Amino acid sequence: MPHAALATLATLSGRDARRIARHAPAADTARFLHPAQQALLHRRGWLTMLAPRSAGGAELPLPQVVRLEEAVAAADGSMGWVLTLCAGAGWFAGFLAPELARAIIGTPRVCLGGSGAATGHAEEEGDGYRITGSWDYASGAPMATHFTLNARLQRDGQPLLDADGKPHIRAFLVPAALVQLVPSWNSIGMRASASHSYRIDGQWLGKEHGFTISPDTATADGPLYRYPFYSLAYVTLAANVAGMAAHFMELAEECMRHRRHARAGLPLLEVPEVISMLQGRKDALIAARARFYAVLDASWTTVAGGAALDADAMQAVQASSLDLVAICRAAVDGLYPYCGLYAAREDSTINRVWRDFHTASQHALLLP
């Protein structure tokens, strides 16, 4: 793909941002992305932006991906989340046999969803595995053509153990035809992410659909597949939270413009303490975001240069991501009381963004 095309792919245009935002209320009501939002994901090629070029994906540099995901989340949290989780699942194609990766990424309107918890088992059978289990929180599930999952390996009904005596866990990529969706996503926020559960009842899968996520087992060349999985997860999730927080702060300031401070008898944005508080929240978020991207960009430069991230570098990525999330939480929770009852109206944009933010930031990796 030409360099100019890659640059366009990784940039959210104003027109696309407006289109995403315009359909966000209807998507929230319908509890899944609007057809126009789904079409945009496919038309822009965003769902395969982390898949290998050799398989038909874009294989974009991670810093570009993260900035795009933040921008989409600022337009609509649910769409940003679906993009992030499904494009992230597409990254796994870099650990599959190249022929299988090409076949999967070449699927019309391909979308990979899935879950990380090992809540099923895979029984060895012939040249493959018979998989049974149920998995939760597969964002974008209704549009997924394939699902990723982790399963405990078994032989003759007995668990296989690793070198440490713990259950041997293996990742699999499963065609949607073998999966049964279980409508279970009934959250207050991120409603349009449709992060439903799914189950598999004794379906057989060839062993080539199993894979291991490690720089040593990558089948695709390029730094993207040498970047540590958990580091990638931290930066992509934190960027989504930051995008939603920035959107909330913009809406909150607009609400505050129309309110008065009951005790001070002044418009809110003329009360010195309120002005100072608002500016402090803005400055803190700007600073945390700058630190976050400085660490991300430095880590990417290291990996793109052929080196591996050491423990200190991975810890820096995690710390800057969690610091950004903490600053976002403080900003959103600090500003919400100043927004009045309008912010509590379920049909208001600020309420939807608030709900989305607090649902997304509950992700297990983002614990304080």
Confidence at residue 174, expressed as pLDDT on a 0 to 100 scale: 98
Nearest to 233 by CA among 150, 296, 190: 296
pTM value is 0.95
Q: Which helix (H) or strand (E) holds 134?
A: strand 128-138
- Say if CB 144 and CB 109 are below 8 A apart: no
Fold of 3-105: Butyryl-Coa Dehydrogenase, subunit A; domain 1 (1.10.540)
- Per domain, the residue ranges of the chain are 3-105, 112-215, 227-366
Question: At residue 295, what is the residue type?
Answer: V
Class of domain 227-366: mainly alpha
Confidence at residue 260, expressed as pLDDT on a 0 to 100 scale: 87
- Say if CB 54 and CB 109 are below 8 A apart: no
Second CATH level (architecture) for the domain 112-215: Beta Barrel (2.40)
- Say if CB 296 and CB 235 are below 8 A apart: yes
Nearest to 225 by CA among 169, 295, 303: 303
Segments of the chain scoring below 50 in pLDDT: 1-7
Question: At residue 126, what is the residue type?
Answer: G
Q: How far apart are CA 220 and CA 44, in angstroms?
A: 23
Q: What is the pLDDT of residues 301-353, one digit of tens each?
A: 999 999 999 999 999 999 999 999 999 999 999 999 999 999 999 999 999 99
Residue given tokens 């009842």 in the structure block: 201
Confidence at residue 9, expressed as pLDDT on a 0 to 100 scale: 60
Confidence at residue 262, expressed as pLDDT on a 0 to 100 scale: 84
